[in-house]
């Protein structure tokens, strides 16, 4: 029957495999298994890397981040200095032209990146801390604490978010740090709800119950056992959060209540296009800023989506 196997070999094959032998064979398999039994992070990273769009976006985003960090050395000119002709189209080493008072538009865009990244990361950091803490507490303890936090969450989530931010920022006196703080302090509710939901399912799982039974302190359980299991959704939420924060900051600055001039932000650079002259005859003053916001936000959204898919294991089709 096993024609392609030689008789002698065949004979050799038809013996019962003993425990030791099987262990060796199984050993091979376990090794094999170890390969796809990569650590969780590695698996997610691997899946993420398969998403071309997300990877390109990540590269774009890292470039923007580097631009923000090294803004001073990357800028061809000083940030607020009038160094060129006034309102000039791109010329010489003013690759994107100059504005009303001869400042280099490219330089200002580069520094605008800094603003976007500070507001993006800063506010997200703040709201992740608030949202995660409240979500953990709310989900884990339940009861009055939970319903109190949830009421607060619902109330603030249903409010016209941008209107409140706009009012607060303009009344508090705008500026990059005010924008960051207000955005951070007001953006936590969705994350809080997300974390709470996750905690509710996780806390019923065996390993948590075991930890409780073992007598671990509540903070220890929250931080060591529950937190690591909610990190992925937080990460995804935070990624999208950066995009939202960047957009919100740009909108506020566009309306003139965000980042205070003379500090350049993509939004306040774009706001100059509300002048018909700039809009129609000086496109270099506003189109690049708009495109930059768009690219940054799009890139972050793609990264977020890539992360989400990688974490949820959904096949990218």
Which residues 139-178 are close enough to bind other proteins by CB under 8 A? 155, 157-160, 162-163, 166-168, 170-173
Q: In angstroms, what CA-CA distances link 224 with 51, 212, 237?
A: 31, 12, 21
Instruction: Tell me: does residue 82 bind other proteins (CB under 8 A).
Output: yes
279-308 residues in contact with other proteins (CB under 8 A) are 279-280, 286, 289-290, 293-294, 297-298, 301-302, 305
Between 124 and 273, name the residue whose CB sits nearer to other proteins: 273
Where b means 16+ CB within 10 Å and e means fewer, 137-168 reads: bbbbeeeeebeebbeebeebeeeebeeebbeb
The Cβ of residue 82 has, within 10 Å, a number of other Cβ atoms equal to 15
State which of residues 55, 74, 80, 227 lies at the interface with other proteins (CB under 8 A): 80
Where b means 16+ CB within 10 Å and e means fewer, 219-247 reads: eebbeebbbebbbbbbebbbbbbbbbbbb
Instruction: Tell me: does residue 220 bind other proteins (CB under 8 A).
Output: no
Distance in angstroms (rounded) separating the CA atoms of residues 187 and 180: 11
Instruction: Tell me: does residue 39 bind other proteins (CB under 8 A).
Output: no
Distance in angstroms (rounded) separating the CA atoms of residues 126 and 91: 42
Between 107 and 136, name the residue whose CB sits nearer to other proteins: 107
Instruction: Tell me: does residue 34 bind other proteins (CB under 8 A).
Output: no
The distance between the two most distant Cα atoms of the chain, rounded to a whole number of Å, is 93
Distance in angstroms (rounded) separating the CA atoms of residues 304 and 57: 10
Distance in angstroms (rounded) separating the CA atoms of residues 246 and 119: 7
Between 29 and 214, name the residue whose CB sits nearer to other proteins: 29
Instruction: Tell me: does residue 29 bind other proteins (CB under 8 A).
Output: yes
State which of residues 6, 8, 50, 92 lies at the interface with other proteins (CB under 8 A): 50
At closest approach, how far in Å is the CB of 278 from other proteins?
Answer: 9
At closest approach, how far in Å is the CB of 316 from other proteins?
Answer: 7
State which of residues 247, 303, 307, 311 lies at the interface with other proteins (CB under 8 A): 247
How many chain residues bind other proteins (CB under 8 A)? 79
State which of residues 226, 254, 284, 307 lies at the interface with other proteins (CB under 8 A): 254
């Amino acid at each position: 029957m096993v024609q392609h196997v030689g008789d002698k070999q065949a004979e050799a094959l038809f013996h019962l495999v003993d425990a030791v032998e099987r262990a060796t064979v199984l050993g091979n398999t376990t090794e094999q298994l170890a390969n796809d039994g990569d650590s969780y992070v590695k698996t997610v990273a691997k899946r993420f890397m398969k998403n071309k769009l997300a990877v390109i976006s990540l590269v774009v985003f890292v470039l923007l981040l580097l631009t923000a960090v090294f803004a001073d050395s990357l800028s061809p000119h000083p940030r607020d200095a009038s160094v060129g002709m006034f309102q000039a189209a791109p010329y010489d080493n003013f690759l994107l032209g100059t504005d009303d008072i001869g400042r280099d538009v490219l330089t200002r865009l580069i520094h605008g990146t800094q603003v976007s990244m500070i507001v993006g990361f800063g506010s997200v950091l703040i709201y992740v801390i608030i949202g995660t803490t409240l979500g953990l507490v709310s989900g884990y303890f339940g009861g009055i604490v939970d319903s109190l936090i949830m009421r607060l969450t619902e109330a603030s989530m249903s409010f016209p978010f941008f209107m409140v931010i706009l009012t607060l920022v303009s009344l508090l006196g705008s500026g990059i740090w005010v924008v960051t703080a207000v955005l951070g302090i007001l953006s936590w509710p969705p994350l809080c709800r997300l974390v709470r939901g996750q905690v509710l399912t996780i806390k019923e799982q065996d390993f948590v119950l075991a930890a409780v039974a073992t007598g671990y302190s509540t903070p220890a359980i929250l931080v060591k056992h529950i937190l690591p299991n909610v990190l992925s959704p937080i990460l995804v939420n935070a990624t999208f959060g950066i995009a939202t924060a960047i957009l919100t900051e740009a909108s506020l600055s566009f309306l003139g209540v965000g980042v205070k001039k003379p500090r350049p932000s993509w939004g306040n650079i774009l706001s100059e296009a509300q002048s018909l002259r700039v809009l129609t005859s000086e496109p270099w003053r506003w189109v690049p800023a708009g495109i930059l916001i768009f690219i940054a936000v799009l890139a972050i959204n793609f990264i977020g989506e890539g992360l989400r898919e990688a974490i949820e294991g959904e096949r990218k089709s």
